[in-house]
Structure 1
Amino acid sequence: MKNSNDLPSVLPIFALPGALMLPRAPLPLHIFEPRYLQMVEDCMKTPERLIVMAQPRGGAAGDRLNAIGCAGRLTSFSETEDGRYMITLTGISRCRIGEEVSGFAPYRRATLEWTDFERDLGPAEHDAGLDRDAFLKVLRRYFADEELDVDWNSLAAASDEALINSVSMLCPFEPEDKQALLEAPSLTTRRETLVTLMEFALRGGNNEDIM
């Protein structure tokens, strides 16, 4: 998909609090609710195989959606013996979510606008201001504090975009913080937001300087 004109104007919405998907990044998902099983089955019948991930504003899947989500292409699928699906969505582009569309589907669908996010359909972004050593230092402290295990060799070798986006998706931030990372206008802004969130968490949620 080379430009926004290639993208559908209506897509299914997967409203999942705390789940963040970003362009060109993979998001593994475990699907077991009947409505979302149906959504995946319907998605696989379409040529684009796209689903929009969105954050509910109130933290529950039935609440109003945030205005911006991210569409991902279904790039991996497997089924368990008891009928659950293990899938991977790979981010394609962010989108502005419009009116919800009623119909016979058991899951939510909505109209979408893509024109503000043409950059997402281009090449991977670079962060010219990234101090990788300083970033990884904060990251190590944060992951140790949260008791998270990661493959540090893979992170160190990752591109700017893969590093920043994978960490943004992995970190256990609140849904509104995940939304701020999604809406960051550039990779540099996302990295700055990410560092601010990690440093805030390391301070225990107060504004005192980190010792």
Structure 2
Amino acid sequence: MSATGCRPPRSIGSWRNSAAAPAWSRPAPRKPATAATPAARGADPMAIRAPLFPLPNVLLYPSAILPIHVFETRYVHLVEDLLARGEDRLVLGLLRDGWEDDYFGSPPVHPVAGLAQVLHFGEKLDGRYNILVQGIGRVQILRQTGRGVPYRLVEVEPLAEREPPPPQAEALRRALRDGLIDFADGSLMVQADAPLGYLADVLLVALPTPIEEKQELFAILDQRLRAEKVLQLLERAVRDRRSWSAAPMPIAAGWN
């Protein structure tokens, strides 16, 4: 399996149905979709069961659109089972450090993951699939369930984000929007009314921050706290950029 990393598009708020590059859709009410399998009796009533699609270097943020090339046999089975059941939900979880040692087994994933809706199934002639998924929201992985399939099934619980009071949210939203535009040197268009949590996520994707650090911020449900931490990362990235540009260029050795 492989996925193109979520990079910020040129226009935040546009919807691009393309398997060539990830994009972001503007947050909006979604069309009804086939729900994932309800959790077993006796489990948390809010929990749902869905297949787990672990990735080593990608997070799926709410509203982000991500193309995934599916070629491993176990994940080809996962896609075929979704099609057979008429379902379109799966969980994208980030693999923890050290996943290489047990990749073909069941390496651990971070407990806060992204719930995805499959927008498009595209089968290739060699039996592989190209699928296009969109982030629905953050979920907490409660437990691994199910037997008899080559991939993992997990029970997950939807996580609700906490919004700050409107005046505080507006100030942070302006700071994030301005930061996004400045960091992209004015080449990124951001809609004026983009929500706070959405802007924090898009800026986090754009920053050159290690994926494990991004996962820590991804798991923060308090939008104020997440936005403030993303702005701190932006300040660090800007300082690094200035120090790189101020560093003297090395003089190449020559021959007489």
Does the pair score TM above 0.5?
A: yes
Equivalence for 2:20: none
User: Which stretch of the first structure deviates more once superposed, 40-49 or 196-205?
Assistant: 196-205
CA contact (8 A) 1:17 1:59 kept: no
Equivalence for 2:203: 167
Q: Which whole-Å CA distance do the structure 1 matches of 2:55 and 2:228 have between them? A: 25
Q: Which whole-Å CA distance do the structure 2 matches of 1:88 and 1:6 have between them? A: 29
Q: Which whole-Å CA distance do the structure 1 matches of 2:237 and 2:149 have between them? A: 40
Q: 1:22 aligns with which of 49, 53, 61?
A: 61
Describe the SS at the equivalent of 1:86: strand
**Cα pair distance change 1:179/1:128, threshold 3 Å:** same
Structure 2 residue 218 is matched with structure 1 residue 199: no
Q: CA deviation at 1:176?
A: 1.6
Equivalence for 1:147: none
Q: Deviations over 1:61-107 (max 9, x none)?
A: 54322121121111122234444322222222322212222512111
Q: CA deviation at 1:112?
A: 2.1
Q: Which whole-Å CA distance do the structure 2 matches of 1:104 and 1:151 have between them? A: 50
- Return 5+ residue gaps in structure 1 as ranges: 121-125, 145-149
CA contact (8 A) 2:65 2:132 kept: yes
Write 1 or 2 for the structure with the bigger share of helix: 1
Equivalence for 1:101: 145
Equivalence for 1:187: 223
- Return 5+ residue gaps in structure 2 as ranges: 1-31, 39-43, 163-167, 247-256
Q: CA deviation at 1:52?
A: 0.6
**Cα pair distance change 1:81/1:99, threshold 3 Å:** same
Q: CA deviation at 1:51?
A: 0.6
TM-score (norm 1): 0.71
Equivalence for 1:55: 94
CA contact (8 A) 1:19 1:169 kept: no
**Cα pair distance change 1:7/1:151, threshold 3 Å:** farther
Q: CA deviation at 1:151?
A: 5.9
Describe the SS at the equivalent of 1:194: helix
**Cα pair distance change 1:171/1:88, threshold 3 Å:** farther
Q: Deviations over 1:150-188 (max 9, x none)?
A: 9613x3557235443333345453222221232121333
Q: 1:129 aligns with which of 171, 177, 197?
A: 171
Equivalence for 1:68: 112
Q: Which runs of 4+ in 1 moved over 4 A?
A: 4-8, 140-144
Describe the SS at the equivalent of 2:139: strand
**Cα pair distance change 1:9/1:138, threshold 3 Å:** closer
Q: Which whole-Å CA distance do the structure 2 matches of 1:59 and 1:128 have between them? A: 40
Q: Which has the higher contact order (CA 8 A, sep 6+)?
A: 1
TM-score (norm 2): 0.60
Higher radius of gyration, 1 or 2: 2
